[in-house]
């Protein structure tokens, strides 16, 4: 049998309807014995002689509302509070403690690891924060998952599937309340549509460009069984990776993202450097004869250099008109004079043009030796 009662509050008649069970619990106490520090938790008090109860207190604060269902049962709504407080019931016969109530603080999230996963869900996500020990549900947007509580600061949960890629809020619902929200991204599965520079040396170090979709959250690039030396996603459609050293031959290229992984078979070809071997058979008849080896190199661009101009050893000459007295022979400084008989001077005209290998200092103008005489008085 079920009966409907109306709760009485300190502020007047309330409007909350509660159904009482037909069979009463014979153990006294407060159920549940913990709830949010913000209040509002509906609890059941089990005891005796509750019929004429006039007040229910949680510590020093009256209940936000209560109703007497029968002589052994009261339902009440907790007020806001903190810590552990006694729960008392007051009747015309006196006041008695029924049990204790533990106020729990609201949960708070600080990290979601990893922060992205596939649209189909199924990956394990770790939540870190505080006041998580009473977590009941974890929400990924509108999708719900049940957590595994590791401690008051850690939860493990399996991400639920969603309809499509995008970012959703993740938050926790616990006995203490509802936590703050952190972002989680559902990533679409990647695809590779092109590999630019598909060949390179076995020593590695080749820069390879991968074009595709769903690459912005890339977590790994591998060539065969070896991870790329480095990689970077410049956009959702472009990745630049540097090849590691690898064995000669074709290698598969694999791109991994939170949305999954994609492998392009034999997308990169490792090539070993070519070698040239020169062999000869000894021939006694050719001992001491010159031998010419000719090598042909292919695949190398020939560079032509412009011929350098030959250094000029000539010295620019200059012609200066010299008088008979200014004419003299000029030798270069590096030349060593050779002793020998002097040739008699050759008569020349008052003005002669001389060719020089180095410039002469400008000729001085001779001053007149005549003195100015004073005019006779």
Phi then psi dihedrals of residue 34, to 5 deg: -145, 155
pLDDT value of position 367? 58
CATH classification (class only), 191-271: mainly beta
- Could you state, in order of their start, the residue ranges of all structural domains in the chain? 3-104, 108-187, 191-271
pLDDT at 6 over 80: no
Express each pLDDT in 152-194 by its tens digit. Answer: 999 999 999 999 899 999 999 999 999 999 999 999 888 888 8
pLDDT value of position 314? 46
Express each pLDDT in 54-111 by its tens digit. Answer: 999 999 999 999 999 999 999 999 999 999 999 999 999 899 999 999 999 999 999 9
Topology of 108-187 in CATH? Immunoglobulin-like (2.60.40)
pLDDT value of position 21? 38
CATH number of 3-104: 2.60.40.10
Distance CA 10, CA 41 (A): 17
pLDDT value of position 275? 65
273 confidence band (pLDDT: 50, 70, 90): confident
pTM above 0.85, yes or no: no
Sequence-separated contacts (24+) of 346-355 with Cβ below 8 Å:
348/324, 350/323, 350/324, 351/321, 351/322, 351/323, 352/321, 352/322, 352/324, 352/327, 353/319, 353/320, 353/321, 353/322, 354/319, 354/320, 354/322, 354/327, 355/317, 355/319
**Nearest CA among 57, 119, 63, 44 for reference residue 86:** 57
Residues 6+ apart with CB under 8 A from 337: 331
Mean pLDDT of the 222-244 span: 91
Secondary structure (3-state) at 295 = coil
Q: Report the mean per-residue pLDDT for the chain.
A: 78
Distance CA 332, CA 358 (A): 8
pLDDT value of position 194? 87
pLDDT value of position 147? 96
Distance CA 291, CA 341 (A): 58
Distance CA 228, CA 247 (A): 14
Quick count: other Cβ atoms within 10 Å of Cβ 40? 12
Return the ∠ at Cα 155 (arms to 149 and 156), rounded to 5°. 100
CA-to-CA separations, 359 to 72, 314, 317, 320, 330, in angstroms, rounded: 131, 15, 9, 9, 10
Distance CA 218, CA 190 (A): 9
Q: Which two tokens stand for residue 105?
A: 């603080």
pLDDT value of position 280? 67
């Amino acid at each position: 049998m079920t009966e409907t009662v109306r709760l009485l509050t300190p502020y007047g008649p309330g409007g909350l309807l509660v159904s009482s069970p037909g069979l009463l619990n014979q153990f006294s106490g407060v159920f549940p014995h913990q709830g949010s520090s913000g209040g509002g938790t509906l609890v059941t008090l089990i005891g005796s002689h509750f019929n004429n109860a006039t007040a229910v207190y949680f510590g020093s604060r009256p209940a936000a509302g209560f109703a007497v269902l029968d002589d052994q049962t009261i339902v009440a709504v907790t007020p806001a509070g903190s810590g552990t407080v006694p729960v008392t019931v007051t009747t015309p016969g006196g006041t008695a403690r029924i049990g204790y109530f533990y106020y729990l603080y609201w949960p708070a999230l600080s990290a979601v690891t990893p922060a992205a996963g596939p649209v189909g869900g199924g990956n394990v996500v770790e939540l870190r924060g505080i006041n998580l020990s009473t977590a009941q549900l974890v929400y990924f947007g509108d999708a719900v998952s049940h957590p595994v509580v590791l401690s008051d600061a850690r939860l493990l949960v399996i991400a639920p599937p969603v309809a499509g890629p995008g970012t959703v809020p993740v938050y926790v619902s616990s006995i203490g309340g509802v936590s703050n929200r952190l972002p989680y991204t559902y990533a679409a599965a990647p695809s590779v549509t092109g590999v630019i520079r598909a060949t390179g040396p076995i020593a590695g170090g080749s820069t390879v460009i991968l074009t595709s979709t769903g690459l912005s959250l890339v977590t790994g690039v591998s060539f065969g069984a070896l991870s790329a030396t480095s990689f970077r996603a410049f956009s959702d459609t472009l990745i630049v990776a540097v090849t590691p050293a690898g064995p000669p031959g074709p290698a598969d290229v694999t791109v991994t993202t939170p949305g999954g992984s994609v492998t392009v078979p034999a997308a990169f070809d490792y090539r070993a450097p070519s070698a040239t071997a020169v062999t000869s058979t000894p021939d006694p008849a050719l001992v001491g004869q010159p031998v010419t080896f000719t090598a042909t190199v292919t695949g190398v661009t020939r560079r032509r250099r412009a011929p350098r101009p030959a250094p000029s050893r000539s010295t620019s000459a200059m012609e200066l008109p010299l008088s008979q007295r200014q004419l003299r022979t000029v030798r270069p400084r590096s030349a060593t004079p050779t002793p020998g008989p002097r040739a008699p001077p050759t008569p020349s005209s008052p003005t002669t043009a001389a060719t020089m290998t180095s410039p002469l200092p400008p000729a001085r103008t001779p001053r007149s030796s005549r003195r100015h005489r004073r005019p006779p008085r």
